[in-house]
Every structure is written in structure tokens, then in C-alpha cells.
Amino acid sequence: MSAIQITALEPGNRIQLPADWVQALGFSSAVSLERTPEGIIVRPARASWDDIFATKLSVRPGDPAAEPDVTELSGDDLLF
């Protein structure tokens, strides 16, 4: 595995990594990208549960940071 490889920037801003690098570094279906002043670091994606749930959809519509608008609540509303 050589240290430097030049590749074309394909349409859609895509690059193709050398196959031997992908295999040697253990990349699979996803990678993480980190932008640095020197360039971009490509690493195998290791998602934590916090990363996975950070993009979870809200159960209720609207702004999830806003308090829910509950104007009336009775004992019947709590029956299942």
C-alpha cells in the first residue's frame, strides 16, 4: 500500500478509493469524513448510539424543542 495515490474527482464530487486501501483499512459500507486545515481524513465509520439517535425523527409534529400544547387533560385521556 503506497502512501500517496492521485485520483480524479468524478461528477457529483465523488472519489474512488484504491481497492487495496479499502481492504487494508477495513472500510465497509460507510466511512466518516473529518475536515481539517490540511485536508480531509477518511476513517471507517463507527457510529455510536448517540450518533444513530441524533437523527431520530420526532414523535410529535412541529418543533421538538417547543413544549407540547396541552390545553385540557381529563382522567379519560389517560385510559388505554
Would 26 be classed as within a structural domain? yes
pLDDT tens profile 11-52: 999 999 888 988 888 888 788 889 999 999 988 887 777 766
Would 76 be classed as within a structural domain? no
Q: Tell me the Cα Rg of the chain.
A: 23
Would 79 be classed as within a structural domain? no
Would 36 be classed as within a structural domain? yes
Would 38 be classed as within a structural domain? yes
Would 66 be classed as within a structural domain? no
pLDDT tens profile 64-80: 667 766 666 666 656 66
Q: Where are the alpha helices (DSSP H) in the chain?
A: 19-25, 49-54
Q: How many domains are contained in the chain? A: 1
Beta carbons within 8 Å of 25's beta carbon, 6+ residues apart = 44
Per the structure, the complete domain to which residue 43 belongs is given by 19-49
Q: Are 9 and 29 in contact (CB under 8 A)?
A: no
Would 73 be classed as within a structural domain? no
Phi, psi of 33 (to 5 degrees): -115, 135
Q: Are 43 and 21 in contact (CB under 8 A)?
A: no
Would 67 be classed as within a structural domain? no
